[in-house]
Structures are given as C-alpha cells and as structure tokens.
Structure 1
C-alpha cells in the first residue's frame, strides 16, 4: 500500500485471439467464504491446479513494513504452495531501490522462468524490468507500476481511484437524506500519486450528492501514530460532521484511538484496504467504523496464477483469448456488516 510512485488505474486489456486453456485468476475477485487463520490465497481454490510444466517463479517485493505488504508476501507464498508444478525463488525484500535491483538481477542470472515484482519504486526499477524482459523472462508487475509497458508482460494491481469513488458513493448513500451533511477525509501522504487518486475518486463521487460538503482533509502517513495525531487534529478543528473517510486501515487503528479518547460517536467512518481489525470492528458494529473499501492483497495470489500461466504458455480459463491479459485491475469492494463474513478470510493483520 504505501507507494512512492505512480499506480495506474487500469482496465482489463486483453491480448490476442480466441479460446484459452489455463489459469483462472481468482485472487483479485474471489468471494468464497472460508475459515481459519490462513490467508485467502490458501483458502480459495487454486487456479487450474492440474499439474503442468514445471515453472520457477522469482518473487521480489519491498520490505514488509506494513500490514498490507506482509499480506502480499503471505498471499504469494501460499498461492505458490497450491501448485506442485511451481517453485518459488523469493528475495529478502528491501525498500532500498539499489538493493532490490540487485536482488532482481540475481533472479535474472538464475534464469527463473517468470518474475513477479512489486517494486519499492516503480520508476527506479523500470530498467531492471526491461532487462528481465529482454532476457526472455516475462515480468508480472504487481501494483506499483513501471514507467514503461515494455518492462512487464502483465500488470495486476488495485484501483486507487475506485477506492475513493466507492467510499464516496457509500457515504453519499448513507447521508443523501440529511440536509447540509458534512464529511471529512483522513488521507495518505500527499506526495504519493495513489493518495491523489483516492482523493480525486472520493471528490468525484461526492459531486453526485449536492447536499454533502467535504469540510476538512488531513494527510497522515499510513502509520498508527500518524493516524492518531492527525485524527486528533481533525476532531479538535471540527466540532460536528457526519462521516469520515480514512484511506488506510493501519492508520485507522490510530484514528479510532483518537476518536475513542475524544468520546466521539456522532458520525460514521469508512476505512480503506481491508485489515482484519477493521473487519472485526465492522462485524461487532459497536463503534463508528461501519465499512472499509478494499485494496486486496489477494492480488499477489493472482500474480502467481498469472506467472504460472505465462510460464506454461497458457491463457485464462473462461476467457476467449489465447494469451493472459496485459492488465488486471482488482475491484475495490465496499465491506460492511452485510457482507463482512464473506470477506473475513481476506483480512490482513
């Protein structure tokens, strides 16, 4: 989730031709309920799990210093374990771009069949993506996008604009009958493109509700501490409002602390990303948090599905194309008390 580079909002762009024979991408969109402590990737049925050609997938991501990033790693590893024909080569992970480039170059030198890369900085790692592609190693670019489409064969990731759009529509529908309703926003860091996209989507959605006004916005840093301090500032500045949209469930933990300390319960809150703690609070339904908008870490499981299909020369079952898509955008579903049980297995810690 925290991202120092541009994350594009992309549609489903398909490759050539007709009838496919391969992997069904389930990680982005699967809704099947299940139980236990494993991630959704380990609970959902694996795509096309009939053994095929052996594929070695190199996986390189940033340091898992955030709940969402840790869930990305877990989803990728557990998805790969579903396949007897997949071997994973996993790097240690680093937020230092030079170190991550070195890790990816090691995977290239090992001649892995496919690379799955979630870059710490998409712009800075574009050249190593190009290097892999030129070496004949297809790249699945996960979430944070490279600067050039020549640096990857397929991109799979979340929809930041869609997060804001769906959060805005949810709040709009809840407040549409309330005269002069006021909303506030606790965003992510303003230097990130993803933050600007989420805010833009939120603002665009609110345009459909002329009686609702956004009266304040504060940027946090995707951390518990920043969420608590910035939320405290918002509460001090705004004595009355009807709804809050918080971009990130990790910083939302801090925001909820500030709200509890202030003794406020006179508004509804919508979160972002899909943390297990948020799901549990929504299910309990005894506080201000009523919904969260997904940025699903199950996209990493889908990336493994796509990488395996690329390594085996397959397409995606259920689609007419011979080739896998060039781009897959995961949907930012709204999770509230009506459907939280369905999504509980996808929640990350």
Structure 2
C-alpha cells in the first residue's frame, strides 16, 4: 500500500515508554539535510556489490536465499552527506547483522534518478527484499513498482513513496513532530508575554520529501490555533544549513522583531542560528530579546548548540534504532508473520533542562554513536 499522510490512526506505535509520552505516531523524514561535520562522507559506503555482506553473521536468515542460505537485502540511502542518514545506514547494518542477512548497499548522493537506477540494479542482483530511504516520494515510484512486478517486498525508511505497494514504512510521526514544535513555541511565548503571541519564522524542509510535507502540515495546523502568533515568514530551508543561513539572513533584515524560529530539522536551525549571530541579534536564554529556536532530529550540532544556549530545543529521532526495526520486520515478513504497514518510532523533545537526564539517555543520543 502507498503511504497516505492522513492515515495516522493506522500507525502501530512503538509502545509505552517515557520517551514516547511527548510525541509520536506516523510519517517520514527527518528528517534531514547537509551537516557540516565530516561524519557523513567518512562513513559513505557507495557499493553496488555485496561489499557490506561481511558484516553479516554466518547464521541463516528466515526465507532462505543465496550464499549459504542468507537472504540478500538491498538498501538504497538517499545521501550520506548528513549525520541522520549515516545513522540510518548504521541501523540497517546492525539490523542486517542481527537478522543474519547479506546486505548490499547503495548511496544515491541526493540524486533521485540515480536512486531509481540503483534500486533497479539491486533488484537485478536477486535481492530478497528492498529497503528504500527515498530522496523524493514521487520520483521513487518506478523503483517501487518494479519491485512489485518482481514480487520483491519494499520497506521504506524515514521517507515514504507516493505510489506502488510498500510492505512496511518505518518513520517518526512527522505531523505530530510539527505540532509539537508549534505547541512548544506557543508555550514559550505565553511564558514570555502572559499569552501566546509574537512573531515566528517557519523554515520549511526539503520540498518533495514526505518528512518536510508532514512537518509543515503539523506545524501550520497547530500554530494556526493561536491567533495572536504571527508567522511573519515561511521559507524553504531545504534541510540545508547554507540555504537556511541565507534565508534567515534575509528574514532578519526584513523583520526587526522575531520571537521564535521553527526549523524543520536541525540543519535548518543551525543555519538560522548562524544568521542570528552574524546579524548581532543573539541574546542569551532568559533575555527578553532572545530568539527562541527549536529544530528536529537531535544531531550532534544541535545538542552542542543547546548546551551553549544557541538553540533552545530539538525534537530528537533515533535513526539507528528505527532502521534496525525495519530489518526486523523483514525477518517477520519472511517468517510469514504480520508486519505493520506504517510504524511510528517515538520522538523526544530535548532541551537544556533534560539533556543530561536518564530519560534522554534511555531514549538514546544517536548522533553521539554516529560520531564515534
């Protein structure tokens, strides 16, 4: 079945936990964009042959396959020029090892047509299942349809497909994530002014991705509930630091009074924070002129900015555990067990007050694991 952003009631939740209380159930990503750290490029594994198979144990996976009974899984990641997607890659590798799969990986490097070609190439190698992290929800449709024609189940991670049949889609509930960001801003403005009012900037994610679409939907619908909060600017940050820096620079020149910024991911917020610094408009937390900034994903840069008082909060995901869960669903599918069509991984709001808490440690600071 194709992903439908309106079917939130059909998501299978992660289950009760302290981390899940704050947000969650449905949608796609992360989340995400360029990161200035070199971790993404260093971890790149642009293989079209089974180079990653050495990571898999010698045990035989359910469902059989080539190479001593191992099932061969094809994985196409959208890019590795971003720590979040490096986290997805790490999670897929861990999941494949745990399930006893042979893993064949490709990196599309942000090129939607290349990703389709990569996916079709993986199918030609006789993969048992195909895991996709789409660059574009529409552009990926031919690859999904080709897999459908060949009888190969498709599993999508973080971002969905607008067509073809997807067996299981694992992601955060990005509509809820956007709603959480808007509600957090409203609460902070109420604490500052006595009622939720003020000027807000909305830096949208990468247009064409389900994550950006759903986060914007959630944010816009929730912020509209507060008539005295004015969204003075909505611009695409593209999940990209430089693009967000340029967009926020122009916005700051136009609007002398800005109270808060919602970044669709943490690269958007890092770009916004740099623009605020460059404009000489940074004020510390607690100052009445402090521009509040909240993002999403829980990247290492965001956590550092929160500790430094440059960013107020991030709505963290956990791409490593999210991706590993998708691989466990492949195992279940091969064992003819029921798997959820849509599975929502919980998110957690992290700020300076809870960043060192047991709750956050239990949820997992995935970006620290990626950087190791």
Question: What is the TM-score when the length of structure 2 is the normalising length?
Answer: 0.71
Q: What does residue 312 of structure 1 align with?
A: 335
Give 1:255 shift: 1.8
Give the number of equivalent residue pairs: 307
Aligned match for 1:291, one of 296, 299, 313: 313
Give 1:95 shift: 3.8
Q: What does residue 85 of structure 2 align with?
A: 69
Change (3 A) 1:324 1:96: same
User: Which consecutive unaligned segments of at least 5 residues does structure 2 have?
Assistant: 21-38, 40-58, 63-69, 284-289
Aligned match for 1:258, one of 275, 288, 295: 275
CA distance in 2 between partners of 1:308 and 1:235 (Å): 50
Q: What does residue 100 of structure 1 align with?
A: 115
- Summarize the alignment of residues 1-349 of structure 1 with structure 2, pairs less than 5 Å apart: 8=5, 10-11=7-8, 13=10, 53=62, 54-83=70-99, 85-148=100-163, 150-177=164-191, 178=193, 179=195, 180-189=197-206, 194-263=211-280, 264-265=282-283, 266-282=290-306, 284=307, 286-298=308-320, 299-314=322-337, 323-341=338-356, 342=360, 343=363, 345-347=365-367
* Cα shift readout 1:244-276 (whole Å, capped 9, x = no counterpart): 111221232222222222232222111122211
Give 1:52 shift: 5.7
CA distance in 1 between partners of 2:135 and 2:159 (Å): 8
Give 1:344 shift: 5.1
* Cα shift readout 1:327-346 (whole Å, capped 9, x = no counterpart): 11334432223433415522
Give 1:30 shift: 9.4
- Provide runs of 4+ in structure 1 moved above 4 Å: 29-32, 189-194
For the residue of structure 1 that corresponds to 2:365, the secondary structure is helix
CA distance in 2 between partners of 1:91 and 1:333 (Å): 30
CA contact (8 A) 1:273 1:294 kept: yes
Question: What is the TM-score when the length of structure 1 is the normalising length?
Answer: 0.75
For the residue of structure 2 that corresponds to 1:335, the secondary structure is strand
* Cα shift readout 1:167-212 (whole Å, capped 9, x = no counterpart): 0111111222415433222223556564443233223222343443
Change (3 A) 1:72 1:114: same
Change (3 A) 1:193 1:135: closer
* Cα shift readout 1:88-118 (whole Å, capped 9, x = no counterpart): 1222435444433333233323322221112
User: Which consecutive unaligned segments of at least 5 residues does structure 1 have?
Assistant: 1-5, 16-23, 38-49, 315-322
Give 1:126 shift: 2.0
